[in-house]
Structure 1
Amino acid sequence: MRPTSPLPTPYLTSVPTPQGFFGPYGGSFIPPVLREELDKIYAQYMAIKDTDKFKTELEAIRKDFQGRPTPLFYAGRLSEAVGGKKGEVEIWLKREDLNHTGAHKLNHCISEVLLAKLLGKTKVIAETGAGQHGVALATAAAFYGLECDIYMGSIDIAKESPNVTRMKILGARVIPATHGLQTLKEAVDSAFEAYLEERETAMYCIGSVVGPHPFPYMVREFQKVVGEEAQWQWKEQVKGSGKPDKVVACVGGGSNALGIFSVFIDDEEVKLYPVEPLGRGETLGQHAASLKYGTEGIMHGFNSIMLKTGAQTEHGPEPAPVYSMASGLDYPSVGPEHAYLFSKGRTKLAGATDDESLRAFFALSKLEGIIPALESCHAVAYAMKLAREAVKEGKGCKILVNLSGRGDKDIDFVWTKYAETYGAMPIEELLKAE
């Protein structure tokens, strides 16, 4: 078992350090010329984050443009299908799929582009995996009138064509990353290289709680609105103790998970489950489960837990090849704050295979009329597992899931590849555990 020790409290105002460290994780391991630019971003953010002007503008955008607050929804038919009864075993969904652009990503993209404008930048640059961050950033750039370049792996461009079309309609340039595995890690590489060349006129807007300081901290702060809303909605809508027993969210880099975990970190009675993609096997290259199989290492300018081949490059450990059917989860590391919380024993090891996630994808669609993103259905799958365990043990359990995105982007891919296996499967079969 992992050793545990108390976290500093109050957590959100104690972590990270001013240098961006979450315990040993995080920091900024980048060339001085980039460090100078990121220091400017951090200074600008710290100067405005608590001002009435910034908070008022952000609140208005969230309400009038994004459609916040997003609903908290009791998935009654799904809960009953896995054996639960209302008042006993319940699955609740925080509906980030109903946030404008279809996912949680706009929560931080609007704020990042506002910062870029205040810094006098004319362009924003970013990477994207499933395309949700790319769409959100392109949306925010259009809203504020900035240029937008999105780097995306060639494989993901083919796989997530609806989101590629959305980005182009919004005025963004979608630039393929054609080296290596041509997925998210390569998109990050390409975006950083472009930013290094255009740093004076452009700002890099990272898509998750990863990268060098201050991005893991800033993105967490922008995403914690999800947890804050869920907390007061839970007290208003759910009978019982006033808080969930378990909170579940998928993790690639981990922004949606930290968004909903954030307000519950100080309350150890609430169990937190970051659900990693277990893919199709334990062999390296068949999953993207950094917390389960990874070790400490530096990549993309930050120290965290990562999947490595064992070889060394001039920049540090060589990242291992990774796989997930969900493009937004196939990253060989995890946000440094997730590494810290896991190392402290505050979060629980959790994962879902492709098979479990596809069953959850079709079960949620058919039982509740909600088509989830492939990323989000990993969290739904694990919540179903927790619900089954609670029913089997005869224990009451209320589970809160961050439904981080909707599945519009995935429907062509899923139906083409998996319809024959899962699409016609009866509900009873879909609900069977592996």
Structure 2
Amino acid sequence: SVSSGSKTLKDAVNETLREWSKRSEDTFYVLGSALGPYPYPDMVRELQSVISKELKKQTKKYFSGLPDVMVACVGGGSNSMGFFTHYLMDKNVRLIGVEGGGIGEERGANAKRIHNIHASEGIAQGYKSLFLQDKDGQLSQTHSISAGLDYAGIGPQLAHLAEIGRVEFTSALDKEAIEACQFFAKHEGIIPALESSHALAATIKICKNLKNKNIIVNVSGRGDKDIFITTKAINRAKWKGFLQAELTRIDKG
């Protein structure tokens, strides 16, 4: 577990690199996002691309062709790169990445690297890409209700795909992600992870301007892990009361 800094992905990567540099003879560095020093972005993308490899077979059968739009959340970029990889050459398929819009536009209030061009080119944690940083190259504080999107950098492959216009980027606010989580839990019977809830929130907005299109959203995680965050955000008073009642029940048992 990470106790330094903001205790998010940036700090986890920092701590891991420190440990690895001290104990490289008996330690492996394992990274779950498409970032970091080469060849980690390529390794993660290739391993995660099983998503789009299987999906392409399924969509050909289900849609009798390709989807029109594909939407995925973007933190470091592992799920989105895995989701997009086998569709990159299919120019008629719109690929949309959704970043953490946080609570506003101010510095430190969001984790938007590309949407509205908040980031600049830099080198950090062993790779060159776009980062939210100050004029000295120090990584800025970020905010997202989702720990997986609360990161100052973005994988170099996604930065390139944004630069050449192959992947579009938008963002969703914390409150929009929570509302999307509630909406899909009620109407679809799923509890999406907060990362995926950002993609679902953006999709709700995208759908308002599209008709008769096949849209796929990568629901890349289950919301069980976020229950202490989402429930508090939805109804803090009831959640506190429930926990207190449970503690009382356990003490009596």
Q: Aligned residue for 1:176?
A: 2
Q: Aligned residue for 1:118?
A: none
2:77 partner amino acid: G
Q: Distance in 1 between matches of 2:109 and 2:75?
A: 15
Cα displacement string for residues 295-323 of structure 1 (whole angstroms, at most 9, x for unaligned residues): 1111101000110122x2xxxx1011000
Q: Distance in 2 between matches of 1:230 and 1:216?
A: 21
Q: Aligned residue for 1:353?
A: 173
Other structure's SS at 1:319 match: coil
Aligned-CA RMSD value: 1.4
Cα displacement string for residues 189-215 of structure 1 (whole angstroms, at most 9, x for unaligned residues): 111000011111111001200000000
Q: Aligned residue for 1:299?
A: 124
Cα displacement string for residues 341-379 of structure 1 (whole angstroms, at most 9, x for unaligned residues): 000011112111112111110011011110000001001
Whether the 8 Å contact between 2:72 and 2:96 is mirrored in structure 1 is yes
Counterpart check, 1:194 vs 2:10: no
Shift in Å, 1:380: 0.8
1:177 partner amino acid: S
1:176 partner amino acid: V
Shift in Å, 1:225: 0.3
Question: Which of 63, 66, 80 in structure 2 is aligned with 1:243?
Answer: 66
Q: Aligned residue for 1:397?
A: 213
Q: Distance in 2 between matches of 1:262 and 1:409?
A: 27
Cα displacement string for residues 237-273 of structure 1 (whole angstroms, at most 9, x for unaligned residues): 225xx01111100000010000010011001100110
Q: Distance in 2 between matches of 1:419 and 1:364?
A: 17
Question: Which of 211, 218, 225 in structure 2 is aligned with 1:409?
Answer: 225
Counterpart check, 1:204 vs 2:62: no
1:405 partner amino acid: G
Q: Aligned residue for 1:120?
A: none
Q: Aligned residue for 1:220?
A: 45
Whether the 8 Å contact between 2:2 and 2:11 is mirrored in structure 1 is no
2:66 partner amino acid: K
Other structure's SS at 2:148 match: helix
Whether the 8 Å contact between 2:103 and 2:109 is mirrored in structure 1 is yes
Other structure's SS at 2:122 match: strand
Identical positions, percent: 40
Q: Distance in 2 between matches of 1:417 and 1:266?
A: 40
1:244 partner amino acid: P
Q: Aligned residue for 1:150?
A: none
Q: Distance in 2 between matches of 1:260 and 1:187?
A: 24
Q: Aligned residue for 2:244?
A: none
What is the 5 A alignment of 1:102-113? none
Whether the 8 Å contact between 2:178 and 2:233 is mirrored in structure 1 is no
Q: Distance in 2 between matches of 1:349 and 1:256?
A: 15
Question: Which of 121, 139, 153 in structure 2 is aligned with 1:319?
Answer: 139
Shift in Å, 1:181: 2.3
Counterpart check, 1:266 vs 2:89: yes
Counterpart check, 1:384 vs 2:204: yes
**Structure 2-normalised TM-score?**
0.90
Shift in Å, 1:420: 5.8
Shift in Å, 1:177: 2.8
Other structure's SS at 2:200 match: helix
Q: Distance in 2 between matches of 1:375 and 1:352?
A: 10
**Structure 1-normalised TM-score?**
0.53
Shift in Å, 1:222: 0.1
1:349 partner amino acid: F
What is the 5 A alignment of 1:19-418? 175-178=1-4, 180-239=5-64, 242-292=65-115, 293-310=118-135, 312=136, 317-390=137-210, 395-418=211-234
Whether the 8 Å contact between 1:177 and 1:190 is mirrored in structure 2 is no
Which is richer in strand? 1
Cα displacement string for residues 145-178 of structure 1 (whole angstroms, at most 9, x for unaligned residues): xxxxxxxxxxxxxxxxxxxxxxxxxxxxxx3332
Paired positions, count: 236
Q: Distance in 1 between matches of 2:232 and 2:176?
A: 18
* Structure 1 unaligned regions, length at least 5: 1-174, 424-434
Which of 1 and 2 has greater Rg?
1
Q: Distance in 2 between matches of 1:342 and 1:286?
A: 22
